[in-house]
Structure 1
Amino acid sequence: MNTKSLEKNKHSWEAAAERFYGRNPLPEYGPMAPLEDDLNLFGDITNLKVLDIGCGSGHSLQYMNQRNAAELWGLDLSEKQINAARSLLVNCGSSVQLFQSPMELNPGLPENYFDIVYSIYALGWTTDLDKTLSNINKYLKQGGVFVFSWEHPLHSRVSNEGGALTFNKSYHEEGPYDHEGWGNPAIMQQFRISTYMNTLISHGFQIEKVIEDVWCSEEDIQRHENRWYSFEKAKSIPTTLIIKSRKL
């Protein structure tokens, strides 16, 4: 675990938190990605215990509450995001437990407890993928489900300039890199799809589904025009990677 990277990322997220309030929560998995309403990766979650890794403003947990989850648990690096989630979920019918913590550490979460753990566009912020996936495996009951989405590893490696797609960095290059997408320096991680899959397998997960499809409405096409995620680029390079796995 890289404490300097975590400190930098926490500072960055505290400064940018309001910009991401309610951004791409479930049933969305990410920009121009298929919806949970169509994928049904979680199935019926009535009376199940769910944990959100990188819960942000709590809108994905709100979605789980609307689908009758019994317990809502979440952790996030940003104190502002946790406070926003606490306010959003104050009147929901489910039991709510929220922790301000990096995903690389267990802030007091029970082990062998959760039916579902998920992470929506957050896992790529980890400074230690092995430790994070080891923690998630411990949180889950045997047979429990882990679903995560993140920016597709090819997306940031390919540029679309005047309609021509060109590699700006090798797909094989992995590890931390500087991210300044919203004006506050932060550290992201780049991993190949095989790294995500092999690390899941090494920590006792069975991979059940890998999704790289692109889906968007006419509204999405217009909303993302000339932005980081554009439909023109998405026609050739997926925006989002989604993986469903299960604890053996």
Structure 2
Amino acid sequence: MNDVYRIIVNHPQLISFWDFAEQPGQEAVAKGPFPYPLTEMAGPIERVEDGPFGAAAQVKLGQWWNLPRHACPELNFHGKDAKVTVLAWLKRENIPNRGCEAIAGMWNETEKKRQYCMFVNLNIWDSADQVCGHVSAVGGPTPGYPYCMTSAIGSTPIVKEEWHCVAFTYDGQYAKVYLDGVLDEREDFNPYLYDSGLFDGGDDGADFTVAAVHRSNEMGNFYTGAIGGLAVFKEALGEDELAKLCKITV
């Protein structure tokens, strides 16, 4: 266990941290105060010894994890006072982009139950390959648009076949995204002013999903590549703290 791993597991604001050290076919059980189990939904997900904390999950196109909403109440961020940080270590596969790629969050587009989710390559507002933090107070599309358009979007493309630490924070006022511990500033979009809070999906709202979201009546927006760790915190961590957590290199 390295120093950053210890800091994450013992962080006072941590909800859950998944290191994906389990064998393929097993539930990925979180470390930290809430040991929520992620269930593989499209066959066993391969593990490789190539990650910031040792083993990493090698996600093929169409694979993802699910955590039912009722089983993870601490991940159900909603309301005007909602605050959250989603932090992940990614190594994107060097394949042609197939569209936006979901990393993790509670985000169901089909049933208009969007709350929060981190993506890469979101493909709105002239973006491609950057880290993005989607937020919604309405659940459905942004009024006047066919899709949800409210998102913090960075300016730097995430290079494929390299490990990078990506983060998305929301503090009730601003959504922000970070690349390798640095606020990836972009005029008008990062930081992104959004003081409306997060949608309350109710008892039948979105599940917490990793590497995909529900959209167009089926799972989609699949992430392809390695995930070496995923952590969710109940506060919007600042740049200094994220820089410390993202200093691991592989």
TM-score (norm 2): 0.28
The structure with the greater share of residues assigned to helix is: 1
Which structure is richer in relative contact order (CA contacts within 8 A, separation 6 or more)?
2
Larger Rg, first or second structure (1 or 2):
1
